[in-house]
Chain A
Amino acid sequence: MGESRIGTAGRDKPQDCLVTVDLERKRGINITLNSKMEKMFGEAIHKAVEDALKEVGVKAADVTVDDFGSLDFTIKARTKTAVARARGDENE
């Protein structure tokens, strides 16, 4: 298949976020967060990403989150979609 193991989901719009997941990584989860909300909600955002990854069975990944003031449910959703896209579970 030779697909790149990178997937992106979400939009650059208020209350949304852009999540990019790279499944190439061998071990551990690495999250890079770009958000104006980092000081206030940094830990919560990290946890949302980690929970989402766990729920879809990802143990190792590089994740970049560009956040525009999104709530946890949005972060989780975008992360899960990005993972599915990285895995190649594409839409037709």
Chain B
Amino acid sequence: MLHTFRQLSIGLGLMALCIGVLLLSDLDSRVRPGDQGRRHGELPRVAVLQANAQWIFDEGVAGIIAGLAEEGFRDKHEIHLRKFNPMGDSNVSNSIAREVTEGGYDLIITTTTPMLQVVANANRARRVPQLFALVSIPSETGTGVSELDPLNHPPYLTGYGTRLPAAQAFRIAREINPRLQRIGTVWNPQEVNSEVQIRDARAVCKELGMELVDATVDNTGAVGEATASVIARGIEAFFIPGDITVMPAIHNVFQITRRANIPTFSIFPTDVPKGSLFGVGADYYEVGRGTGRLAAEVLRGRNTATIPVTDYMPEKIVLNEEARMRLANPQAWDFPESLRKRAYAIVTPEGALNVLRDDPAPGAPAPTPSPTPAPSPSP
């Protein structure tokens, strides 16, 4: 028995050591009589979390930092900012969630749905003010945000939802071609994000008197055939959804639609130069910036319970003249002047990308939601 214990002693000893280290580092957060928590005279501590290193998230976080700075909260000057990135590992993201809710932070800003969830869960006891961004549908994250009432959310948790702009894409398509009737698409019903996009698309089509002709797939290899089948049913334009089953087959889709003289559009403006007629995406830098400005308000004392959860979808539009000229009937798809003014970039007929604005924001500042009951929910 003693021998067994001796063999375990190294391990037990190391564990005891680690436990000791952790407790020692935590001495400050012991409850002393009259102590309200944060050490006085120190800079407020802000944590910014992203899920992994995808460019969308990098942009969002850059925007958050810029937004905070604009409002006078710069890292190491007015605040102490720390970034976290678990690189997609759920093990690590759990640890990070515990660390930020426990480690004396004054404000936590999360990006993406998984980070929102893991921090919100860890935050239930501590209730550190938490803002979220880069989340498509906050009410479906299971964190207690109500779908119907934007002010119905846990008092310490609020932020921006950024619904994927499928609806806007369809509106713009109609704006370009007022005679547009039938739009085709291919999607994977297993993808909840796709489901929402198609739902929004159908609603807009119904509103504008158009018809959505769709086919479903459950694997990337079937996308080509599905596209061809949809074209065979007679369509005038094709929508490429933000669907991880369809996106990898995008070049296949381009080939097939080009042969059939059908213009395509999507919600990823970066794919437009590859062959789509246009794309309207969420400007994630701008979403971050808006979130940063909101965070500044919270740091200045605004109660998160008074902030309704809103949808903020700053557009980023890219138009493609080269693709338009390749169509058999380019006049039908002439870009209206009003649209050109809103565009972030245009691909010239020679194929060069012409960026029209430095600041990708379409002018309007982020809606800083008023303390009184909500603006109407987004379309």
Chains A and B come from one and the same complex:
no
